[in-house]
Amino acid sequence: MRIEHLSKMFGDFTALSGINLEIHEREFVCFLGPSGCGKTTLLRAIAGLDIQTSGKIEQAGLDISALPPSERDFGIVFQSYALFPNLTVVKNVAYGLENRKLPRGEIRTRVAELLALVGLGDQGDKYPAQLSGGQQQRVALARAIATSPGLLLLDEPLSALDAKVRVYLRHEIRSLQRRLGVTTVMVTHDQEEALTMADRIVVMNQGVIEQIGAPMDIYRRPATAFVADFIGTMNFLPGVAEGPDRVRVGQVVLACDAGDAEPGAQVTLAVRPEDIALQDVKSSAENAFEVEIGSMEFLGSFFRAELADEAMADTRLRADWSINLVRRHGLEQGQRLHIALPRDRIRVYPQSSLHG
């Protein structure tokens, strides 16, 4: 599936612009972005429910840009599930199978198979309102895959559920998708969901794609400051480029890959809290300097320390350290210590790109 130069206007408002994207066979792709960034709009364009203003969509080599939904090949699950309230679970799932000249017996077998697949084999005669949210979600899923579509579209399928059910269903959906081998696009604003489920993530912001890549890729090497900020936690340090591999923050000069930043240009450095390494006092490692622990916060499975030093002017660094490490080094508030920012974990962005 290919999307080229796609854009969508609602009157004067540009909801999507210049979207280029390729989705491979059997892949699980997540559209991730803050709410209102156009994820649903893109999904609905792919479905043909709200056709794009311009641009092209190809599926299996065919141009489907202008086709109505009924002439495309997809199954869809909405945030609301849109289960038919007056039909039983069995009839909901069978809905797309009827009217296709299939023998009744075959439909019955197929529905039973699907319900077993989503773990609802014994709930077939209930009405949707008699099921829990998670069960409803699975009925919607079974209905969407009943006709074996070539593409499965999921719009925030888990966002209406409790945290526990959500985590459980993530795995369910993912393993189901693997088993069926159906190409899947899922919309979500929950980065954890995207990071754990997707083969590839499409990070979107204000109607444009910021980055496309595998979860680890996006986490490790965010292409833009927006992605860096949106995914995970990130320290941002204002700096001035001093050469192709040197950036000064306050009085500290850090070795890093400054890319094509001109010497003297204002840049923003980004480093993840968990990448901040604790150094031995006498160490002369690269990018090592001394800071003071401003505060320590226990976040359940790790400590988050806030680090500051005159040398770095007003900038504060957050560092995530394991309980183990904190205990071993006896770290506490007010303590001074040496840290290092590993060179290959520092990303440099032009200054204007964040909050710009």
Ligand X SMILES: Nc1ncnc2c1ncn2[C@@H]1O[C@H](COP(=O)(O)OP(=O)(O)O)[C@@H](O)[C@H]1O
- Nearer Cβ to ligand X, position 33 or 273? 33
Binding segment for ligand X (CB under 6 A), chosen from 28-36, 63-71, 165-173, 191-199, is: 28-36
Do 317 and 275 form a contact (C-beta atoms < 8 A)? no
303's contact among other proteins, ligand X, Mg ion, none, with CB below 5 to 8 A by partner kind, is none
138's contact among ligand X, Mg ion, other proteins, none, with CB below 5 to 8 A by partner kind, is none
35 near ligand X, judged by CB under 6 A: yes
38 near ligand X, judged by CB under 6 A: yes
Shortest Å, Cβ 167 to other proteins: 25
336 near other proteins, judged by CB under 8 A: no
184 near ligand X, judged by CB under 6 A: no
Shortest Å, Cβ 131 to other proteins: 10
Residue of 1, 37, 267, 339 interacting with ligand X (CB under 6 A): 37
User: Which is it for the CA torsion 68, 71, 72, 77, positive or negative?
Assistant: positive
78 near other proteins, judged by CB under 8 A: yes
Within 13 Å of residue 61, how many CA atoms lie on the same side as its CB? Answer: 0
17 near ligand X, judged by CB under 6 A: no
Query: Which chain residues interact with ligand X by CB under 6 A?
Result: 10, 13, 15, 33, 35-41
Query: Which chain residues interact with other proteins by CB under 8 A?
Result: 4-5, 7, 47-49, 51-56, 65-72, 74-76, 78, 80, 82, 84-87, 95-96, 98-99, 127-130, 143-144, 146-147, 149
